[in-house]
Amino acid sequence: MDKLLIRGPGELSGTVKISGAKNAALPILAGTLLATEPIVVRNIPHLKDVTTIISLLQMMGVQVTIDDQLNVEVDASNVTSREAPYELVRTMRASILVLGPLVARFGEADVSLPGGCAIGARPVNLHIAGLQAMGADVSVENGFIKARARRLKGTHIVFDTVTVTGTENLLMAAVLADGETVLENSAREPEVTDLANFLIELGAKIDGAGSSTIVVQGVEKLGGGDYTVLPDRIEAGTYLVAAAMTGGRIRVVDAAPDTLEAVLIKLREAGATITTGEGWIELDMKGRRPTAVDIRTAPYPAFPTDMQAQFCALNAIADGVSTITETIFENRFQHVLELQRMGADIQLEGNTAIIKGVDRLMAAPVMATDLRASAGLVLAGLAATGETLVDRIYHVDRGYERIEEKLRQVGATIQRVTS
Ligand code: EPZ
């Protein structure tokens, strides 16, 4: 099992190229199931989760090839299976994203019920309820979601809770449904908008993506197209926090500054000087220690839950006392236990972490538990004194392309060790 060995502290400086957004690439690749003609998807990040969904599509008979620029060519004109098996879905919950496209195009889908994960129960009741509202018969039997529909019918859906993949699944279901679908209380994440723009490129009729009310006019079929995935705002935010924690100066390029405004505001509050331009963000900490900042996660455009662990690490060494409240997931503080082992002064009270910044964290062997928690531990290792060994970094590889290479490019002392 691979580990990351990090020697700190060390000021980071230089330029990092941001990859395509994992959480846009996954629904977009699932959405290729809706089309009957070849599609090219560009700027796909080279990540374990992407490999998993490509394997899933290939198991269904979809032709997927990757060219030498890592562009993905997909031809779903001949889908032979409508099943997403447990052994794949359990490795990646986002496989649930094939449910909507399969029911919309073929009228049937058997998708393994994704279990919970380290950060929470992760129910999919809203995905199922939405398909039922569109006329599908959906049952859960033997751990599978079994959905059948002659043709989905457009309807008015109001989400009880803002759900990113729930919005994406039902958006994809709606594009081939009969008539108009209104999705209210929809997720406004940039990745939802990117999926909508991709579907429009294929001929879908969608208005309001990026707002909380999306209106879809169903069409008979979707054609082919050529689409470039937007930059990963969470990857960009993670590298900016790395520089803020080490007093350094970093420029992230091939980024989308307007998709992480809430994070940039908090980094400025922490004392960073931030400038942005077309496709780039520069953070300069000028050797200063960050100031502690209060965080409350919430759906976009508010502060993203996927940046919560990274800011726990920043606040752990910041000047002052701060609170971080997690409102999206019920168990997303597992990184706190590991940060405490590195000397962080953090108290958990319900869904709030109370953090008293310490001058310096001490290196320690730590264990990654989920994707963003592991990012938080890597950041802590960069700022801590000594050698931090982060175990179970398969979690990191799910969401960060070549993390040790990108960090080494900006001066980090980090290497992957295989035990
Ligand atoms: C997406 O997960 C992201 N994953 C997550 O990123 C991200 O943390 C999350 O949105 C929130 O922004 C992908 O896009 C692949 P939700 P998703 O449905 O869609 C409840 C990462 O690190 N809910 O928006 O699964 C749910 O329990 C990952 O890249 C229901 O109750 O999250 C949660 O409390 C981690 N019923 C809240 O909604 C449902 O049917 C938000 O979850 C669906 C969700």
- How far apart are the CA of 289 and the centre of ligand 1, in A? 33
Q: Cβ(41)–Cβ(317) under 8 Å?
A: no
Q: How confident is the model at residue 116 (pLDDT cuts 50, 70, 90)?
A: confident
pLDDT tens for 346-371 read: 999 999 999 999 999 999 999 999 99
Residue 23's closest CA among 55, 45, 51, 54?
45
pLDDT tens for 260-298 read: 999 999 999 999 999 999 999 999 999 999 999 999 999
pLDDT tens for 149-177 read: 999 999 999 999 999 999 999 999 999 99
Host H or E run for residue 131: helix 125-133
Instruction: Give exposure, 399-418, as e/b (b: 16+ Cβ within 10 Å).
Output: bbbbbbebbeebbbebeeee
Which residue lies with its CA nearest to atom 7 of ligand 1? 306
- How far apart are the CA of 408 and the centre of ligand 1, in A? 31
What's this model's pTM, rounded to 2 decimal places?
A: 0.98
Residue 115 has pLDDT above 80, yes or no: no
Atom of ligand 1 nearest to the CA of 126: 40
- How far apart are the CA of 21 and the centre of ligand 1, in A? 15
pLDDT tens for 56-98 read: 999 999 999 998 888 999 999 999 999 999 988 888 999 999 9
Mean pLDDT rounded to a whole number for the chain: 96
Pocket test for ligand 1, best of 89, 164, 327 (most atoms within 8 A of CB): 164
Task: Please compute the mean of the pLDDT values over residues 196-210 and round it to a whole number.
Answer: 98
Q: Give the per-residue pLDDT at 38.
A: 97
Atom of ligand 1 nearest to the CA of 234: 29
- How far apart are the CA of 305 and the centre of ligand 1, in A? 9
299 φ/ψ angles, rounded to the nearest 5 degrees: -60, 155
- How far apart are the CA of 164 and the centre of ligand 1, in A? 6
Residue 119's contacts (CB-CB under 8 Å, 6 or more residues apart) are: 329, 330, 331, 332, 334, 370
Host H or E run for residue 56: helix 48-59
Q: Which residues are catalytic?
A: 117
Task: Please compute the mean of the pLDDT values over residues 373-378 and round it to a whole number.
Answer: 97
Which residue lies with its CA nearest to atom 27 of ligand 1? 122
Which residue lies with its CA nearest to atom 43 of ligand 1? 124
* Residue ranges around ligand 1 (CB below 6 Å): 22-23, 26, 94, 120, 122-127, 161, 163-166, 305-306, 328-329, 371-372, 399
Q: Give the per-residue pLDDT at 117.
A: 83
Residue 248's closest CA among 410, 378, 6?
410
pLDDT tens for 209-221 read: 999 999 999 999 9
Q: Give the per-residue pLDDT at 373.
A: 96
Residue 23's closest CA among 410, 257, 305?
305
Quick one: DSSP state of residue 90? T
